Amino acid sequence: MTNTRWHDRAAELKFDGRAFINGQRVAAQSGATFDCISPVDGRKLVDVARCEAIDIDAAVTAARAAFEDRRWAGLAPAVRKRTMIKFADLLLQHRDELALLETLDMGKPIKYSRSVDVPGAANCIRWYGEAVDKIYDEIAPTPDTALALITREPVGVVAAVVPWNYPMLMASWKIAPALAVGNSVVLKPSEKSPLSALRLAEIALEAGIPPGVFNVVPGYGNEAGSALALHMDVDCIGFTGSTRVGKQIMQYAGQSNLKRVWTELGGKSPNIVCADCPDLDAAVRAAVGSIYFNQGESCNAPSRLFVEKSIKEQFIAKALALVPNFKPGDPLDETTVMGAIVDDIQMNSVLGFIASGKAEGAQLLAGGQQVRSESGGYYIEPTLFDNVDSTMKIAREEIFGPVLSVFGFTDLNEAIRAANATAFGLQAAVWTSDIRKAHQTARALRVGTVHVNQYDDDDITVPFGGYKQSGNGRDKSLHAFDKYTELKTTWINIR
Ligand code: NDP
């Protein structure tokens, strides 16, 4: 499709911002809405239902009724599998429409919403569907006088609260394992990017997931999100977002019904490049490509780059040669690789971090400016700071924007200590030709995922989540089923 065609399609696209409860599109009961603004050009796309406690209650009631009458949980796993696979197939059939919604709503390039977000979400839904009829429960090693079953059962009503950076993908990472094992779900998308989640629910219904099983309630975090996290009839909450709100979610669970809480939170991931790196050009491409991908709005973005001093100058020269390739462009142009920042608030937050880096003495080698303001949208140049000190704000806090901070090191142990010296522990990377060094470094890094001689080459088969204040939950892989199931023992006396 040409770029003009994407603009034409965007102009024709019909948006529906109403909530999706019990299989139907509904307005918020108060009638309240909020504006859904596109970061691409600042235009209003649609009014979105501003759900509050009363709407959350309606969604949870619908989800509970669906769970209790077993219209979904009671189906054979093989039947749920077929429905999930159909759901995935339908997503791919709606690929262009969903990609366009994602791009218009949160600003990422159409190139990636079409090649990463939609297929990634479909693959996730298909994978959990396919997995669910291949999992066996256990029988305990009891004496002859007993038979003890250890089974996993769906936890019940699952709330999913997700961020705006990969709206459809983050939603899929939660809803796919939760639905596959038979739960009912109430999903709250971010107020900044609710549109694709609402379409997901319609497509799920079309695939055969019964009404009430999958509900979507758009709204503000401190209204809809908190009402969900405080609800007495939600059994479990899967949360992805900032560490600050993750802490609040845990408190809400403690204040209400001790619902199970799984958090996948922020990051400040270190990327350590040793002088014996096997392929320096690949390391440079990964360091630059992964921090600027998705405008730097990735929880696992390698925002702290540690380079051994003997190769640092060469590394930075190569990196600076690549930076112009990431010049922000029109997200609806198929050649654009860096799009818009999600909204003006986030853009100003990132610009604030850049200003603080300069003020604290880091050396700005590239970018640092807002650009394309004539478009009406929110764009920031790919930015690179050298000579960053671990005490600086840009070294400590998650920026969630296209800003790379470079540090030098001479001793690998010193780099590992600095890498671990944050509150976060999501991901890290090490580049070296020495397998012993790679393995020892991977062991020493207190993070959920360590990449060796690559960054971001993983897939749905492996867990994704953090240590420390990056949260306690794991999305992806079969381990995600643990979050959305309860473990039951049934001890049968057979004497
Ligand atoms: P936020 O924590 O601000 O928001 C996340 C979600 O929580 C949104 O739906 C938000 O709603 C909602 N929310 C906000 N306040 C409350 C509240 N008081 N009670 C209940 N829900 C609330 O994060 P962002 O959306 O800004 O996302 C960026 C963050 O997500 C980054 O820290 C990033 O690292 C992290 N992230 C982590 C991932 C991981 O797997 N570890 C993956 C992707 C992102 P609303 O937006 O409507 O206010």
DSSP line for 454-485: SSS---TTS-B--SGGGBS--BSTTTHHHHTE
How sure is the predictor about 129, in pLDDT bands with cuts at 50, 70 and 90? very high
| Both tokens assigned to 205 | 């219904």
pLDDT at 209: 98
Is 381 considered catalytic here?
A: no
Q: Does 181 have pLDDT greater than 70? A: yes
DSSP line for 31-46: --EEEEE-TTTS-EEE
% of the chain residues with pLDDT over 70: 100
Which of helix, strand or coil describes residue 495?
A: coil
Q: List, for residues 362-378, the tens digit of each pLDDT value.
A: 999 999 999 999 999 99
Q: List, for residues 149-169, the tens digit of each pLDDT value.
A: 999 999 999 999 999 999 999
In 231-382, which ranges are continuous DSSP H helix?
243-255, 280-292, 309-322, 344-359
How sure is the predictor about 84, in pLDDT bands with cuts at 50, 70 and 90? very high
Closest ligand 1 atom to the C-alpha of 164? 25
Closest ligand 1 atom to the C-alpha of 173? 40
- The secondary structure of residue 108, as a DSSP letter, is -
The whole-chain average pLDDT of the chain stands at 98
238, 208 contact by CB (below 8 A): no
pLDDT at 3: 73
If you measure from the C-alpha of residue 264 to the centroid of ligand 1, how many angstroms do you get, rounded to a whole number?
9
Residue 288: which of 387, 389, 340, 365 has the closest Cα? 365
Q: How many residues does the chain have?
A: 495
Is 264 considered catalytic here?
A: yes
Cβ(265) – ligand 1 distance below 6 Å: yes
Q: How far apart are CA 164 and CA 168, in angstroms?
A: 9
How sure is the predictor about 1, in pLDDT bands with cuts at 50, 70 and 90? low
How sure is the predictor about 4, in pLDDT bands with cuts at 50, 70 and 90? confident
Q: How far apart are CA 118 and CA 93, in angstroms?
A: 10
How sure is the predictor about 2, in pLDDT bands with cuts at 50, 70 and 90? low
% of the chain residues with pLDDT over 90: 99
Cβ(174) – ligand 1 distance below 6 Å: no
If you measure from the C-alpha of residue 437 to the centroid of ligand 1, how many angstroms do you get, rounded to a whole number?
36
171, 259 contact by CB (below 8 A): no
Q: How far apart are CA 106 and CA 191, in angstroms?
A: 11
Closest ligand 1 atom to the C-alpha of 245? 2
If you measure from the C-alpha of residue 71 to the centroid of ligand 1, how many angstroms do you get, rounded to a whole number?
31
Mutate to test the pocket of ligand 1, among 37, 161, 168 (most ligand atoms within 8 A of CB): 161
Which protein residue has the closest C-alpha to ligand 1 atom 21? 225
18, 39 contact by CB (below 8 A): no
Q: List, for residues 256-306, the tens digit of each pLDDT value.
A: 999 999 999 999 999 999 999 999 999 999 999 999 999 999 999 999 999
Cβ(165) – ligand 1 distance below 6 Å: yes
- Calculate Rg over the CA atoms of the chain: 23
First to last CA, the chain: 70
229, 249 contact by CB (below 8 A): yes
Sign of the CA dihedral running 421, 424, 425, 427: negative
pLDDT at 85: 98
